Chain A
Amino acid sequence: MADISTSAVVPPRAAGSLAASGAKRRRDARLRQRLNMAVGLVSIPLFLLLWQLIAQAKIVNPILFPAPTVVARAAMEWVASGEFAQDLAASLKRVATGYVVGSIVGVGCGLLTGRSAFFSGLLGPLFQVLRPIPPIAFVSIVILWFGLSESGKVFLIVWGVFFTVWLSTHLGVQKVDQGLVRAAQMLGTPRRRLVGEVVLLSALPFIVVGLRTAVGISFYTLVAAELAGAFAGIFYRIQLAQQNMQTGLVFAGLAALGLISFIADRCFAMLAQRLVWWR
């Protein structure tokens, strides 16, 4: 009994006595954090170094697997010739147009089918059947419909973006908190303003997830779109380089695609935080 210590026996703590152990904890945490960051920074250089060593050791065919230095040279020439800027502009324009159109139509249809059982019944099954068809499967028919025009390429990206945005909006609208709708109604919100005042904002976190997924999808679909015959564009350049056996340029093109969609995704993530500001 007597050896059970209670808080009454613990002497009062001197002011500031926690500071030392607190500082040590913070130091350790900061050190660990820096170490992890450092590992993250060397990840890509390490990979490139390994690749360079393998390429220089001639273990693999250097034409098929060009060293990073070769790829870098090809990339620099691509930029210097001015073709990179043209290709980038052409690709970005397609992606942006398709993305914006697909998203607007997707959100609109999602609001319609999410709010109304009639439209959900009318359009839901149709969309669910069309949704799993990969946009690339439409390349041949798109060429027949649109020829080599830009609208065909934009159409493919719209197609890719639309279903994801539609589905996430539809689900978000269906999950809208009916309690909030009732709160809005008792405050005198007219029916026609419920969507703008409550439904859209309630569903926004879902919609934003769909919009972000659609950013990635729009870049996949870009490849399909430029397969449908183009005169400029990142993937167009990759195809051209492949036909000329310029493997350095092929890799530079791939790296560019990866980098651009990565940057687009990062930008969207930042935007998303502002879009759902109350979270």
Chain B
Amino acid sequence: MSKQWYMLTIVGEDRRGIVARVTDALFNGGCNLGEASMMRLGGSFTIMLMVELERSGSELQKLLQPVARSLNLHIHVDSIEGRLHRHREPDVSITVYGADRAGIVARVTGVLAEAGLHILELESDVGGSSENPIYVMHIEGHAGEGIEALRSAMELIECDGIEVNLQPVDTMVG
């Protein structure tokens, strides 16, 4: 079997050493690691990891079974067409905040998607006091129809009492 890339998604309760033990098992199983994104949120842990090896996806599952069992992790394997070096660079950075209320994410991302935004990264958090929570969201993305299209779309959102800051991302290469 020739080398194949897999997307490995691992979810579980956060505890010390998960990344070390998972990557150790992968290394000992002859895997190559590609890009990875790990996040810890509300006591849970998740990682997406590109893994390359000369075996099938079910063998990759089997390889991780001992670690998964001992750390109580859910493991999901997809074989992917993707490979490394397919980064898409963000050209816009957007911060949104306002009084916490249901629908803010759907409203904002819906309007911006319509104006051509492709979201590359999104993070959000709830702050403020428990009586008056505020919702803060940060997006990095690619403005498919240009930044001006997003600016006009933002005006629609701001009417709803949501603050939106939009900054072009100009990457310095030197």
- The answer to whether A binds B is no
Interface residues of chain B, those whose CB is within 8 Å of chain A, are none
